[in-house]
Every structure is written in C-alpha cells, then in structure tokens.
Structure 1
Amino acid sequence: MNKPPIHPYIPILIGVISISLSAILVKLATADAGVIAFYRMLFSVLIMSPIFFMKHTHEIKLITKRDWIFSTIAGVFLAFHFILWFESLNYTSVASSTVLVTLQPLFAFVGTYFFFKEPLTLKTVISGLIAILGSFLISWGDFQVSGTALYGDMLALIACALITGYLLFGQDVRKRISLITYTMVVYSISTICLFLYVIVKGESFGPYSSMDWLWFLLLAIIPNLFGHTLFNWALKWVSTNIISVAVLFEPIGAALLAYIVFSESLIPSQIIGGIVVIVGITLFVIDIKIIKKFFVKNA
C-alpha cells in the first residue's frame, strides 16, 4: 500500500472539527429530517461532480460487482444514519444525541474483529472504554430515560450503529477505489435513497427560507466534504476503529457550540467527561512502545 502524502491523523482531526458543526446546523434548519439529509447529500454530490467528471469517470468501469454491492449498502446506511440522527435532535439535546451517535467503538471494535479479523488489543479495549465513559459523562446532566428524550436517545443509538456499518463497508472498498470515485458513488446512492424516502414520507422539497438553504449548503460543505470525505480518505490507511475513537471528540465541540448558539448549558459532569474522552483518545493513538523507549532512554 502506498505511503500517504500526509499523516492520516491530520485529516481525521480536521474531519472531527468539521462534523462537530453538524448538529448545530441541523437544529438551525426548519425542514424535516429527511429533507435536510437529502439536500445535504445532493449539494455534496453537485459540488464534487466537476472533479469527478473531469478526472475520474474512467474508474467506474473498474468497480467490481462486490464493490457495487458494498458501496450501495454503505450509501443506504449513510442515508438512514442521517435521517435517524437528525430526527433524534428534535427529541433530545445536542449533547445527548451527539454522545450516543458517536459511540461507534462499541460497534466498530466488534465489526472489525469479525469482518476484517483485526485483533482487539488490551490497549484498544481500555482506551475505548475510557473514551466511551467520558462520552456518557458529557451528557450525564441532561441524559433522560423516559418520554420523548428516551425516543430521541434510541434514534441516535441506531444512527450510531448505521454510521459504523457505513464505515466498515467503506473500509473494504476504499482499499481498491479512489477517494473521489468512492465518495461520489456512495453519496449519489445515499441521495437517491433520501429522495425516495422524502417522497414516500410526503415531506416537502420546498419552498424554504434563504437561511434554510444556507444551512443545507453548509452541511454539505463542512461536515460532509471536510468531515466524512476526509474520513473516507483516511480509511485507505487506517482502521475504522481509529476514526471511531477520534470521532468521540465531536461531543466536546458540539456541546460547546450548543452552549453558544442555543444556550444549552454545560455542567461539571460534561466538562469532566470531555477530559476523560481526551484521555481515552490519547491512550488509543499514542504508541506505548515509543513512550517506554523515551522513559528508558531518559532514566
């Protein structure tokens, strides 16, 4: 496998910062969840189209039947991930929804073990559990287990499982297909799926206010093109597990932005949880062998 032009952790970091804006932009929009998701994906496809049609159309014929099947499944999973997560934001807080939807290690660790035979090291399990504990602490104050909040929490949890499935199928395909081609195919399939969903649900494609159109466009540019697309790029060189743990940074950024934009207050448990998340992620990404060599050398 070719050496990446830059360290994969750099685009992963940019991607995490970008997706932290996603929940805020969704809550600012007034359209139904399916419509928001549809325009997010449609605008993403339209923005990417010039690059794809100028340089990458020849790659379509190189896609195998297996890759088409996996890409289709990934696209459908991505579509329903957005639908369920956006819908969850109508019932529970940004902090609770974002925390639950980013608990991907619970699913990714198991998925990569069974599908790709990636071993679960003790460091991976411990760091993942620490980060997951921190994620729960972030929203401990407003985490509810009854009524509409519970419904929103369940939607977010299912959305979490779907985005992990999307990454797992993408991890397999991305090792053989370029970033632009893979992303264009998956985003197009997701757009078609969302278009049919909106029609079946009887939701309206418009008209919407100019601000709504701005939120739709920003959702396509920031969380999608600078978020998920960078994750897809990184999948060629890193495991789904690494991205899933790094994404646990998202609740920290989302909670802070929700406080600024919607006055959703931060409480001590959320601040402590953010610190715990950072500790867990740091433990996951730092090479323990390098640390041991440093202390032995300086002993």
Structure 2
Amino acid sequence: MRGSDRAAPWGGSIPEPSSRGGAIFVVAPAIGRAGDIGDPLNGARTSLLPRPADGVMPVRPTSAALPLVIMGLVVISWGMGPPIAKLLSAPPMVSAVIRFGMSTPFLLAVLALRGRWLSRRVFWQTMLPGLSFGINMVFVFAAVQEVTISVMSVMMALQPAMLLAVVGPLFGDRVGFRQIAFTMLGVGGAVGVIAGAGGDFRASPFGLFLTAMSVLTFTVYFVLTRMARSASAVDPMEWMAGINFWSLIAAIPPTLLWVSPEGWREFGGYDWLWIVIVAFVTGVFGHVLMTWCHAHIEVARSSLYVLAMHIVAVGLAWMIHAEPVTLTQFAGGAVVLFSVAMVIRTPTNSRREPEPAGTAR
C-alpha cells in the first residue's frame, strides 16, 4: 500500500517509492510498480556501496516474467551496439567522448523534468563504477589497435565464467553445479558464435594485456553496479546519469592526449545519426534497463543472459554489413539460447529470506 513501509530481508523497513519518480521510457509504469524508484533505504544516507548488516546482498523479487522481458530488451539494445558503431567513420575515442557528452546532459535533463536531481549520495556512489566504465572504453579502443575484434569478443564472452567466482562472497548467491555447467556451455556457444565468422585471430602480448584489462574494468563496473543496486533503492535513471558523468570524466583526458585535431574533424555526416543510436539506444536505454535488472536478477544469471547479445550482433551485421552467417554461428547461437533457457529454469539459490509472494510494492 502506498505510503506504508514494508519489511526488508535484513531487518528494518523500506519506504514505498515516491510517486514523483515518473517514468522510464515506455516500461516505466511496470518498473515503478516493481519498487525501485524512490528514496534510500529507511530514508537514511548511505555510504559508498553500502551493505546490509548481515552482509547479504539481496535480489528484490518481482513478477517472474518482467525481469526476463526487460533483460530481453537489454540484449537487443546492447546487441545493436557493435554493428552500429562499426558504421562510425571517426576515431573510436572521439566517438566515445561525443557519446558520453550527449548522454550525460540528456540524463540530467530528464531527471530535472521529473523533479529530481543527481543527489550527492548517488554522485559519489557512481564514481568508481562510472570511472571503471569510462576506463573500459579507453582500454577497448586501445586494444582494437593491437588485436582483432574476434579476439576481443571471445575474451569478453568469458565474463560470466569470471563472475561465478565472486557471486557467492559478494552477493550471497549459491551457484549450483547445474548453473555452472550451463554457464560454461553458454560461454562455449558464445565463443562459437564469434569465432564462427571466420575472422582473423591476431594479437600481440600487449594487445592481450589491454583486452584483459578491458574485460576486468567492465566486470568491475558490472559488479559495483549490482552491489549498489542491491543495497539501496536507487532510481536507475539517476544512477546512469552519475555513471555517464564519471565515464565522460574518464574518457576525456586520454582522448585529448592521443587523438590529433584531424581526428576530431573526421566526425560528421551520418556519424551523428549512428552516435545518437549508440548513445541513446545502446547506452541510455540499454544501461538504464540493465541497472534495474541488477536489483531483480542474480549477477551470475544476468551475465549469462547478456551473452545472447552476440546473436543479435551477428544477425544485424549480416543485414547491415552483409557479413555471412556460418553454420558454426548457428550452432553456437543455439547452444547459447539452450543454456540461457536451462539457467532460467534453475531455481534461485540466494541466501536471502524470500519475501511473501503478495508483498505490496
């Protein structure tokens, strides 16, 4: 019931969300009812990446279908990123700065129109994950000069396996053998989707180091966002406004140092259309929804689901860039979808106390 408090799994109470939060795109009414847009827990200020007293990082349950629907939208929007970004003619780091330079003021303007602002608490909470995300972009753009895209994509597909090692200590999720097995199977399928394109696999030792750092920094961003979303009721739009601000701060210095003035002048024409899609569809829309999902889906599961973005990317690359789709990619895509389906059917093993099914939001 609106205006009343509900019990939190770790004790105390969680105030019901304020109605001033407004909507997040077309799915806002459903997300708002899920209870994530509102004030901090118990109305109190929290420290950087706060944790409940017992150390358990709970996943807030909602209707069974909604998180999967939202995750599907994330997969589609993130899968659009690589094929669309490939259309950009300007240097990648210039595109990154322009991307964050467009999305940051947009998100702040949307917050202002909703009667909100980037609070001091969220501003400092987003510093570490935001800088990680911005630095990740720098490592990615530096790595593509040393390794082929196929090598980088294969290493990025290994992220779900990396996360299995930290979900227990950090989030209190018990990962069973079934989930581990299907996660590893899904990673193998994703590698098949990427490698099946038949691209040249070329890498230098320095390039492999840069690629490993890009995977690490994105994992840090992914985990820190999940930690913060599990411990406090943060508006996903406000959270991403802070993330984009700090990402812009992280991306500007190396771009100014490494990109010549001629590189900046290469941006123009249709680049503006492609960067709008990357900034607002893949960036704002996809990451806002992913931020919401972090409060409702265990990180080991969500990272596996994201592997399906490679299937979307391959399909769009076939349509946009006429890149052939091989039987190996079809087989790898089928393995990814099968693994995701099996993990969806695997019971949740979080150590948190389950909320009653009828708990009001």
State if a TM-score over 0.5 links the two structures.
yes
Task: Note if 1:172 corresponds to 2:230.
Answer: no
Pick closer, same or farther for the CA change 1:56–1:188 going to 2, 3 Å. farther
Aligned to 1:260: 319
Equivalent position SS for 1:238: coil
When structure 1 is superposed on structure 2, of 92-101 and 27-36 the one drifting more is 92-101
The Cα RMSD (Å) is 2.7
Structure 2 CA distance, aligned partners of 1:157 and 1:201?
Answer: 21
Q: Which residue does the alignment assign to 2:215?
A: 160
Correspondence for 1:14 among 73, 77, 95: 73
Contact 1:107 1:161 in 2 (8 A): no
Give per-residue Cα distances to partners, 1:37-70, cap 9 Å, x unaligned. Answer: 1122221112212221234645614x17xx82x5
Match of 1:206 in 2: 264
Residue matched to 2:162: 107
Within 2, Cα distance between the matches of 1:181 and 1:197? 26
Post-superposition offset of 1:191: 0.9
Asked if structure 2 preserves the Cα contact closer than 8 Å seen for 1:26 and 1:86, the reply is no
Report the 3-state secondary structure (helix = DSSP H, G, I; strand = E; otherwise coil) of the residue aligned with 1:114. Answer: helix
**Structure 2 CA distance for partners of 1:59 and 1:223, relative to 1, 3 Å:** closer
Larger-Rg structure: 2
Identity %: 18
Aligned to 2:91: 32
Q: Does 1:60 align with 2:149?
A: no
Q: Distance in 2 between matches of 1:4 and 1:215?
A: 35
Tell me the CA shift for residue 128 of structure 1.
0.4
What amino acid is aligned across from residue 42 of structure 1 in structure 2?
G
Question: Quick check: 1:98–1:254 contact (8 Å CA) kept in 2?
Answer: no
Q: Does the Cα contact within 8 Å between 1:32 and 1:203 map onto a contact in 2?
A: no
1:286 aligns with 2:341: no
Distance (Å, rounded) in 1 between the aligned partners of 2:313 and 2:147: 14
Normalization by structure 2: what TM-score? 0.70
Range moving further from structure 2, 280-289 or 175-184: 280-289
Structure 1, unmatched stretches of 5+, are 290-299
Pairing of 1:236-255 with structure 2 (within 5 A) = 236-255=295-314
**Structure 1 residue corresponding to 2:187, chosen from 127, 132, 135:** 132
Contact 1:102-1:250 within 8 A present in 2 as well: no
Tell me by how many angstroms 1:85 deviates.
Answer: 3.1
- TM-score of the superposition, structure 1-length normalised? 0.83
Q: Per-residue deviation at 1:115?
A: 2.2
Correspondence for 1:183 among 220, 240, 257: 240
Higher RCO structure (Cα 8 Å, ≥6 apart) = 1
SS in 2 for 1:30: coil
Compare the two structures and name the one with the higher helix fraction: 1
